[in-house]
Amino acid sequence: MSLDQHDLHQDHLDRPAPTEQRASLDQRLADARRHYADVRPVSRSLAQRATEVFPGGNTRTVLHFDPFPFRVTTASGSEILDADGHPYVDLLGNYTAGLLGHSPEPVRVAIANALERGWAFGATHPDEITFAQLIVDRFPSIEQVRITNSGTEANLLAIAAAKHHTGRTKVLGFEGGYHGGVLYFGDHREANVPHEFVIVPYNDSDALENAFAVHPDLACALIEPMQGGSGCIVADDQFLARLRALCTEHGAILIFDEVMTSRLSPGGAQQAIGVLPDVTTLGKYLAGGMSFGAFGGNRTIMSVYDQNSARPLGHAGTFNNNVLTMAAGIATLTEVLTDEVLIRTNQRGDDLRARLSAIFAENDLPLSVTGRGSLLNIHGTRRPIRSTRDLAGADDRWRELLFFDAIDNGFYFARRGFIALSIEVTDRQIDQFCAFVQHWASTAPSDD
């Protein structure tokens, strides 16, 4: 796939402003949806076929949006191509799993070499030890680790370890927390596992203190240092420090879900903020885009999975140590994701967030941007956002219009406004995206 993004976007920016550019927000959004569907007949046909075999036409809920999602046929570097031949700069990075971009060469070579040796051993092998050692060396809170197939599994097993270790049953969670498909504390009905949950508002110290006072028998607290699925809402450092102190005081296990935030510094968010959990859960990018999850912590807690302990927990999983993920993970952490590369990518994200915030403010648009480092989220509100409660009353039409207009200009991020930069996204592409947003903001519809 080849794509001259400069020519593509300059063509859009040089076009005369259409007469409906100052039309109402609803009219602009209806036009954008219609145009999106009209120029993607192949993706429309594939979406219709998908409904015959998938409920809702998909097997991963987050990838759906109306009228239908486009279907990707090719990806390379920081670019993707859809079934109708439309190219995009990929600013979504597979919801953080694609931190390395598409098909990083060292990972591809490692996987190819692993395939030459066979790929379904059904036995232990040396690469799993090497990969595990790289994880242990990387994250300050992890002395021992267990590898899974997803962040969801990692969180489920971390909770199981905490309950087994403490002999308690209650799990403290936070409004808006997303810890996998069966651990979501949002506003929608979810198929959550039937733990005894105590849910409190995020970033609310008073509610936190009260939860420990009313429930001194908590087994663990499960928290994202920045809530990813709910919109890149950053936890106050002081809030996390107080949570750490309360867990220690009450004998509860503090679990940091760093499935997303582990990319915010070489040692994860825990290293950046200086607050160490008892257990850390991981996933997404650390295996270069292959299916991966892990959880780890101090030896005492992790010993519940030691078959030689007095009352061990079992941890099965046919593909936990699969040779492709192990090989990809080793290549990722030894050949691709250097500290310098990761730090530079997070700096690029901080700069993008500042630039977008300035554009929205200068054009007096009811939009704001939250996040940290290479992860950010656009919201349809001007108010400061410290929890999902601050998103009440946000006007989602603005975010949806920006989403469709960005797609029309060759930029792809999540319909919910989520952006996760890969290491392959360049400064030039960021400049082009900001130029598009500036043009879009200057011709925004009337705010009705």
17 vs 56, higher pLDDT: 56
Listing DSSP states for 199-234 in one string gives EE-TT-HHHHHHHHHH-TTEEEEEE-SEETTTT-EE
Whether residues 68 and 114 share a domain: the answer is no
Question: Helix or strand or coil: residue 197?
Answer: strand
In terms of domains, do 243 and 331 share one?
A: yes
User: Residue 174: helix, strand or coil by DSSP?
Assistant: strand
* 219 assigned to some structural domain: yes
Do the beta carbons of residue 123 and residue 107 sit within 8 Å?
no
**Over residues 51-60, mean pLDDT:** 97
Q: What CATH number does the domain containing 118 carry?
A: 3.40.640.10
- Of 160 and 186, more confident: 160
**Does residue 447 lie in a domain region?**
no
Per-residue confidence (pLDDT) for residue 1, from 0 to 100: 44
Distances (CA, A) of 338 to 158, 188, 190, 332: 28, 39, 38, 9
Q: Are residues 93 and 229 in the same domain?
A: no
Q: Which single residue is written with the structure tokens 């950010």?
A: 376
Q: How far apart are CA 108 and CA 126, in angstroms?
A: 19
Residue 448 lies in a domain: no
Q: How much is the pLDDT for 103? A: 87
Contacts of 19 (CB under 8 A, 6+ apart): none
Specify the number of domains making up the chain. 2
Per residue in 340-380, pLDDT (tens digit) is: 999 999 999 999 999 999 999 999 999 999 999 999 999 99
- Say what the pLDDT of residue 23 is: 73
Give residue 12's pLDDT.
45
Residues β-bridged to residue 375 = 372, 420
Are both 249 and 304 inside the same structural domain? Answer: yes
Q: Is the pLDDT of residue 79 over 90?
A: yes
Residue where a domain terminates, one of 297, 315, 336: 336
Following DSSP, what letter does each residue of 241-265 receive, concatenated? HHHHHHHHHHTPEEEEE-TTGGGGS
Quote the domain boundaries for residue 301.
Answer: 105-336
pLDDT of residue 7: 47
**Domain co-membership, 97 together with 123:** no
Check pLDDT > 90 for residue 110: yes
Q: Is residue 233 domain-shared with residue 143, that is, in the same domain?
A: yes
Same structural domain, 309 and 422:
no
Query: HSE (CB half, 13 Å, CA atoms) of 130?
Result: 15
**Domain C-terminal end among 282, 304, 336:** 336
Q: What is the pLDDT of residues 294-349, one digit of tens each?
A: 999 999 999 999 999 999 999 999 999 999 999 999 999 999 999 999 999 999 99
Give the C-alpha distances (Å, rounded to integers) separating 374 from 90, 276, 354.
13, 21, 12
Band the pLDDT of 38: cuts 50, 70, 90: very high
CA distance 233 to 225: 9
| Residue 206 and residue 343 in one domain | no
Percent of the chain scored above 70 by pLDDT? 94
pLDDT for res 351:
98
User: Last residue of a domain, which of 336, 371, 394?
Assistant: 336
**Alpha-carbon distance 247 to 441, whole Å?**
45
Q: What is the CATH number of the domain that holds 437?
A: 3.90.1150.10
Read off the pLDDT of each residue in 55-76 and give the average, rounded to a whole number: 97
Residue 187 has pLDDT above 80, yes or no: no
Average pLDDT over residues 45-60: 97
Do 56 and 109 lie in a common domain? no
| Beta strands 279-283; 253-257: pairing state | parallel
Residue 353 placed within a domain: yes
Q: Are residues 272 and 366 in the same domain?
A: no
pLDDT in tens, 205-217: 999 999 999 999 9
- 152 and 289 together in one domain: yes
| Apex 382 CA angle, 376 and 386, nearest 5 | 60
- CA nearest 414: which of 393, 399, 394? 399
- Work out the number of other CB atoms within 10 angstroms of the CB of residue 313: 16
Distances, alpha carbon 329 to alpha carbons 99, 127, 138, 151, 291, in Å? 13, 9, 13, 15, 10
pLDDT at 14 over 50: no
SS3 39: coil
Question: Are β-strands 411-412 and 293-297 bridged in parallel, bridged antiparallel, or unpaired?
Answer: unpaired
